[in-house]
Structure formats: C-alpha cells, structure tokens
Structure 1
Amino acid sequence: MELRQLQYFLKVAQKEHVTRAAEELHVAQSAVSRQIHQLEQELGVDLFMQKGRNLHLTPVGQLFCKRVETILKDLDRSVAEVHEFLDPERGEIRIGFPHSMGTHLIPTIVAEFKQHYPHVRFRFKQGTYSSLIKDVLSAEVDLAFISPCPESSGQLSGDVVMTEELFAILPPGHPLAGESVLRLEQLREEQFVLFSPGYSLRPIVWQACLQAGFTPEIAFEGGETDTIRGLVAAGMGVSLLPEMALFQTGRLQPAQVRISEPQVTRTVGLIYRSDGKLPLVARSFRAFLLTYFKSRQNNTPVGMYEVHPLE
C-alpha cells in the first residue's frame, strides 16, 4: 500500500468522480483508476460502487475512508512539525519552570522573545526540582529553568544564568518589618511557612537556618509562591523567598527585609538534553536567554546583542 494510493482514494471519495479527482490532482484519469484498482485488490474489497455517473463509497469504503483521513491528517501534521523543527522563527517551545519563576520572570522573557520571533508558540509546564529534570530527560519539555542548576551529565547539560538573593518575608505588623536588614538568627523563635519537600527552595531555606544556628519550626507547607506569600502576609509565620517571587500581585502583601547574615542565595540554571536534538526554535530561545541574562549582569539592553540560533 502506497501513500499515493491513499491520497488518490481520498480525493475520489471527496469528489465522487474519478475525472474530477484526476483534474484536481493534476494527473491522468487512468492513473487514478489504476491506483484505486490496485488498492482494492490489495485490500480484497470493493471501496466504491457506481451510482449513475458518480462513485459512492461502499460501507467498508466509508470505514476505510475515516481511517485514511486520520492517517493523512497526522502525516500532514508530522511534516509541519518537521518544518517547524527546522525553522528558528516559527514552531513551538516547550519550557518548564518552578512556581517561583512564574509570576514575573517567565512572562517577562517570553514577551521580550516574542518581539524578535512573534510567530513562535510556547507551551509551559510547572514542576518541582526532580520533576523538571525528568521532564527534560523524557523530552516532555525542550528547556527548563531550575534551581539550583544540577551538574552536567551524560544525559543533561545546563547553564547557570543567574544568582539570586533570598529575602526574609514577614507579616506587615511584625516588629522587624520596618527594618532594612536583619540577621537570620533574629527569626529563630518564629514559625516558618516553607515549600513542601521536593521543592528546591525548601533545602536552601533549611540550610540557611541551620547555618544561623537553629532548626526552623514549620507552621505551614505549600507548593505555590502566592500561597506562601499570602500566609505570611496573613500573620501565619515568616519565610524566605527569592526576589523574583516578591512582585506584588494582590492587596495583602508581606514585608520584605534583606538578610545580612548569612547571605542566602540560589543559582538559577537552564537545562536541556545533552543529545543536541533541540528544535532550532528552542536553540534560538536558549541563545536569547543566555544573552538576556548576560545583559542584565552587564546592565546592557538586550536589544544590543544579536539574537540567533546556537551553532
């Protein structure tokens, strides 16, 4: 069975006439008739029956036609995906990221990138540290922001794109809420609102507290930045969040205070599969991101750098 036979069969089924199908296919009528005859011989059934001057599908022909329509649509979609894979200015980028980066960072960089490539589509997936690594390795996403950036391995590669400071967040009426800076040790008697196990910020905050000489008492756990920020603002405890998670999105907001001792930071990385089989559009996005974060470090407008696919 050949692809051409299926294409000719579907066109005849649509036109209900060999001559009209041949005209639209720009081939001889005899070529269409021959391919339909060979297809029926191979299947061992009659796909069409003559009614006057037209051809109508037999019951089994109707069943076969539905399957052929699906097959050819899937084939067309696959061809389009191949073209998108090879086109750095179109196609779809699948990107994963933790919840703490979804409020401001992801919308900002996507909007900036769309100025260069307006026809690119994005598919987003949020997750924990371990699930993001799994999504990259299983090709569920092309790229993923992750913190901290894991070491490169045989299957995984990554770039550290930024280091970010964590701030103490406190209820607005907290005695330390008006301070410009505090030592983490000053929060040793407080109850903490932390991310649930599996989220990368939890061990960072936990280790910082141990470094400050105490084990944090956990009052609440959650998996959303907005939830943690809201619980703190409501007076349910204190926490530490990175700067990008502190952009105000509602009326009830916690106070934020810089931590002087110990300084608490996290690295943010961009990971991808080591096999180098990224679509060109995803490679262009990775090149753009490296330029974007470099420009932030150097206080240089991103537009001054050329955006192009990585070699």
Structure 2
Amino acid sequence: MGCLEMELLQLRYFLVTAQYQHMTKAADFLHIAQPALSQSIKRLEKELGVSLFIRSGRNIRLSDEGILLAEKLEPVMKTLDEIPGELTHAAEMAARTIKLSILSASEMITDIVILYKERCPEVNFQLSQKIDNKDWDIRVSTVIPDQNAKTNHTVLKEEIYLAVPIDSPFAEKDSIHLEEVHDASFICHDRTKPFSILTTSWCMSCGFEPKIVFESDSPSTVRDLIGAGMGVAFWPAYSWGQQRSSKVKLLHITHPNCTRQIYVAQKKEKSSSPIKNDFYNYITAYLNDLQSL
C-alpha cells in the first residue's frame, strides 16, 4: 500500500502545514523552499489517494481527510519525538546501574551496598540471588571464578566460628574441636544452600551428622535462638557482622579447618564503566580493611 511508503519527513511537513494552513509560512518555519513543500504535500496526497487540503487561490485549509490524518498523526509524532530523549535517559540509567549477583555473604554485601548508596546516591543497583543468573557486572560467591572467564576477582578468607549459648558448658572454652559437639542440636541455614552444605561436610569429616532443630537464613534469628539455648550454630566471622549478644559466645574451631573463601568477581568489559570499577574497588577496599583488623 502507498501509506507504507510515506516518509517521516513528509508527515512532519504535513503537520506543520496543517498547523499554519499557509504554505509560505509553513515553508519559512521548516526552512525549505515553498515549491519543495508543495511537492512534498502533493506526493503525500497521491500516496494516500485523498486531498488533505482544500485550496482556494493562495489560501488553504484542511479537508476532512486532512483533519483526520492530523488527529491520528499528532500523538504518533509526539511519541516519536520523545524516543531520542527516552533512549538517552535509558542509556544514562544503564551507565549508572550495577547488576550485582549476591550468592554469598548477603548480610555483609547488603551493608556495603547501603554504605555505597550513601556515598553515591545517583548509582542504582539490580540485585539478584539466582544461581543461574548470567547477567551480572559483579558477583559475590564462594565459587572460584572460571579462570577462562574475563573477570577480575578478589578473595576474602573468612573464619567460621561455632556460636554457643553463654550458659552452655561449651562457653567455658575459647576454642573447640568440632567432634565435641557431636551430640549438640544445630541451628543452620537452609540445608540446600552452599553454606549449610559446607558446614555439614565439616561435621561429617568429624564422624557425625549434625542434628538440625531449626533452619534460618537470618543472623538475628539464629543469634536469638542460640541465646535462648535452642542449640549451637556455625557463625561466619564477617558475613553476618559482629556478634553483639551477651547471651552468645563465639568459639574458634581448632579442627577441622573451618574457613571459606568468598570471591568478588567483576566482568571485564571492552568499555569499562567507571561506576562499576569504583564499586568493585570499594568492595575490595572494604574486604581488605576487614582482614586487616
């Protein structure tokens, strides 16, 4: 159909002419010669098969068909005019957005994000905890980054303590062999999570399977349940923050070696984003400060 061959410029010329309803004034506004504008309008009328203007000498006015076309075109052209600005805004938002995959140490990383937002409020974050998510700029996990992948990464070595009730006989100690708690009740993470799988493997290496009485991913819930004498739990040195409850004591585990590595990986990009680099450096500095305490 002829309407599919209409050019955007033709439609803009028509709308301006419809606004002025005067060829010379419309041509002056568009900075084109009046004969060129007249030819453009005539080609559009030929393509559509209708007269868009009623001509009377040098005067013109919209025909019924012209009025209908103008009504239909105005919102369409308004939308088209807004697209460049919207695309620019979207590009600016993308440049200020960090896609952060948090597969480990969520409590600590959330605190880091909050601190960074206070420092750089214009930066946006898209947070994900999906293991299969591939669309990330920075990822925090206990999985060693693929050496073939294009990433930078930093490592936090984290000691895992055993948290016990303060009125427990275990609290008389400062350190403990994991075998000593083989009969204790354990409060743990969701057993399908990497942290629980890791801590269970430590127990199994000492000849016992932990007797789990409750599962929770909330450090405050775990802390409160330990304080209430419900059981003992593994407590990451950094990931869950400091343990401030007077009802709970943290013990060093002398055997087995209860530590884990937390990797912060940043994808390498051809056009590196200053904001993403800055946040990665911020996390790195934060982790280095933790380890130097």
Tell me the TM-score normalised to structure 2 length. 0.68
In structure 1, C-alpha distance between the alignment counterparts of 2:33 and 2:63, rounded to whole Å? 15
Match for residue 236 of structure 1 among 230, 236, 246: 230
Using the TM superposition, give the Cα deviation of residue 144 of structure 1 relative to its aligned residue in structure 2, in angstroms: 1.5
Aligned-pair identity in percent equals 16
Aligned to 2:144: 149
> Once the two structures are superposed, what CA deviation does each residue of 1:151-198 show, in whole Å capped at 9, x if it has no partner?
3345x6452421111111223432223532222112111122222244
Using the TM superposition, give the Cα deviation of residue 33 of structure 1 relative to its aligned residue in structure 2, in angstroms: 6.6
Aligned to 2:162: 168
- Residue 219 (str. 1) matches residue 228 (str. 2): no
In structure 1, C-alpha distance between the alignment counterparts of 2:177 and 2:277, rounded to whole Å? 42
- Residue 94 (str. 1) matches residue 89 (str. 2): no
In structure 2, C-alpha distance between the alignment counterparts of 1:189 and 1:218, rounded to whole Å? 11
Aligned to 1:123: 125
In structure 1, C-alpha distance between the alignment counterparts of 2:231 and 2:49, rounded to whole Å? 74
In structure 1, C-alpha distance between the alignment counterparts of 2:286 and 2:39, rounded to whole Å? 56
In structure 1, C-alpha distance between the alignment counterparts of 2:212 and 2:43, rounded to whole Å? 70
Aligned to 2:31: 28
Match for residue 78 of structure 1 among 81, 87, 93: 87
Pair 1:245–1:289, CA change in 2 (3 A): closer
Aligned to 2:57: none
In structure 1, C-alpha distance between the alignment counterparts of 2:190 and 2:142, rounded to whole Å? 15
Q: 1:18–1:29: 8 Å Cα contact kept in structure 2?
A: no
* SS in structure 1 at match of 2:111: helix
In structure 1, C-alpha distance between the alignment counterparts of 2:49 and 2:170, rounded to whole Å? 84
Using the TM superposition, give the Cα deviation of residue 261 of structure 1 relative to its aligned residue in structure 2, in angstroms: 1.6
Q: 1:92–1:120: 8 Å Cα contact kept in structure 2?
A: no
In structure 1, C-alpha distance between the alignment counterparts of 2:192 and 2:177, rounded to whole Å? 27
Using the TM superposition, give the Cα deviation of residue 145 of structure 1 relative to its aligned residue in structure 2, in angstroms: 0.9
Q: What code does the residue aligned with 2:31 have?
A: A
Q: 1:194–1:222: 8 Å Cα contact kept in structure 2?
A: yes
> Once the two structures are superposed, what CA deviation does each residue of 1:178-230 show, in whole Å capped at 9, x if it has no partner?
53222211211112222224422112101111222211122222344444334
How many residues matched?
276
Aligned to 1:302: none
- Residue 159 (str. 1) matches residue 163 (str. 2): no
Q: What code does the residue aligned with 2:190 have?
A: S
Match for residue 115 of structure 2 among 92, 111, 114: 111
In structure 1, C-alpha distance between the alignment counterparts of 2:280 and 2:46, rounded to whole Å? 49
* SS in structure 1 at match of 2:105: helix
> Once the two structures are superposed, what CA deviation does each residue of 1:67-109 show, in whole Å capped at 9, x if it has no partner?
55455545423223435666xxxx121212146332x444236
Gaps of 5+ in 1: 300-311
Using the TM superposition, give the Cα deviation of residue 111 of structure 1 relative to its aligned residue in structure 2, in angstroms: 2.5
* SS in structure 1 at match of 2:170: coil
> Once the two structures are superposed, what CA deviation does each residue of 1:124-155 show, in whole Å capped at 9, x if it has no partner?
4242xxx24x22x1x2x32121123343345x
* SS in structure 1 at match of 2:169: coil
Aligned to 2:177: 183
Aligned to 2:280: 286
Using the TM superposition, give the Cα deviation of residue 35 of structure 1 relative to its aligned residue in structure 2, in angstroms: 11
Match for residue 259 of structure 1 among 226, 250, 253: 253
Tell me the TM-score normalised to structure 1 length. 0.65
Q: 2:137–2:266: 8 Å Cα contact kept in structure 1?
A: yes
Gaps of 5+ in 2: 1-5, 55-59
Larger Rg: 2
Aligned to 2:3: none
Q: What code does the residue aligned with 1:207 have?
A: S
In structure 2, C-alpha distance between the alignment counterparts of 1:214 and 1:95, rounded to whole Å? 37
In structure 1, C-alpha distance between the alignment counterparts of 2:215 and 2:155, rounded to whole Å? 28
